[in-house]
Amino acid sequence: MHAKRGLSILLVLLLTACSGAQTAAPGPSASAVQSARQEIAGLDAIEQNRSAAENRAMTARAWQRVRPAISDMCAHFETQNCDYKLVWSDEDTPNAYADGESVYMFNGLVKYMENEAQVAQVLAHEAGHNIADHPSKGTRNTVAGALAGAVLGGLLGAAVDSDLAAQGVAVGAAVGGTAGRLSYSKEYEREADYVGAYITARAGYDLGEARGIYRQLGALSGGVRTTSIFDSHPASPDRLAGFDAAAQEIEGGNPWPVLR
């Protein structure tokens, strides 16, 4: 009787441990979400006046700066594999994603970013997915996922830029389209934004500058209809307001994400 009950409790604990967020991100108030909605409404995403090479260089700089903070956060979460690579694509698809081992960044997304802090927040968000082990827990589109893996595997062997390789940046081309169609729950997106905000802050970036990425994503999501970051990352006022709530917690002196 007791043994059976003990087993049931153990099963419940195991199931709980296998799903859901590990962190307790602060939920934004309804009025904060409403303000964020008004802030995003009518915004146009503006392509910045930079070449793809400049976007790539900016991404490499941001990666170099967030990497130690990613490692620290990864150790804090006691995640096993923390040595993530950055994979850059010149492709015009506005996308970024993570697969548990690498973080993938597309020129088509970076070209809309207003500053390096916004690039850092996207890299930190994607690393946050890896740190919180979302790729193994999330819903993977197996066909697209397998295809993307094959395409990336083939390209990465051939095309690694020597200047960026020193910074741990691999260079891929034409990895968009079918790539990166990992979809996560809203809960995991919130967790990645939350963990990402801590990484960005710990890397020394200004969260006031970084928050603009959620304005840009909100503006972009109105017009983009192709396979992109919006398949897996619903842009919404909740994310902007959620980021602000996380920033407030961090600026209040909290050193690490609050664990459940």
d(CA 134, CA 127): 10
Given the complex with Zn ion, which of 164 and 217 has the nearer CB atom?
Answer: 217
- In angstroms, what is the minimal distance from the CB of 189 to Zn ion? 5
- In angstroms, what is the minimal distance from the CB of 77 to Zn ion? 16
- Binding footprint of Zn ion on the chain (CB under 5 A): 189, 192, 233
> What is the H or E stretch that residue 87 is in?
strand 85-89
Q: Which residues of 91-111 are buried (b: 16+ CB within 10 A; e: fewer)?
A: bebbbbbbbbebbbbbbbbbb
Give the pairing of strands 102-106 and 96-98. Answer: antiparallel
Given the complex with Zn ion, which of 181 and 233 has the nearer CB atom?
Answer: 233
- In angstroms, what is the minimal distance from the CB of 193 to Zn ion? 8
d(CA 127, CA 133): 10
Of 259, 238, 253, the closest CA to residue 29 belongs to: 238
- In angstroms, what is the minimal distance from the CB of 182 to Zn ion? 8
- In angstroms, what is the minimal distance from the CB of 27 to Zn ion? 18
Given the complex with Zn ion, which of 164 and 257 has the nearer CB atom?
Answer: 257
Given the complex with Zn ion, which of 109 and 164 has the nearer CB atom?
Answer: 109
d(CA 172, CA 232): 20
d(CA 202, CA 210): 13
Given the complex with Zn ion, which of 202 and 233 has the nearer CB atom?
Answer: 233
Kindly give, in sequence order, each residue whose CB lies less than 8 Å from that of residue 260, ignoring residues fewer than 6 positions away: 21, 22, 23, 24
Instruction: State which residue has the least CB distance to Zn ion.
Output: 192
- In angstroms, what is the minimal distance from the CB of 96 to Zn ion? 8
Given the complex with Zn ion, which of 40 and 96 has the nearer CB atom?
Answer: 96
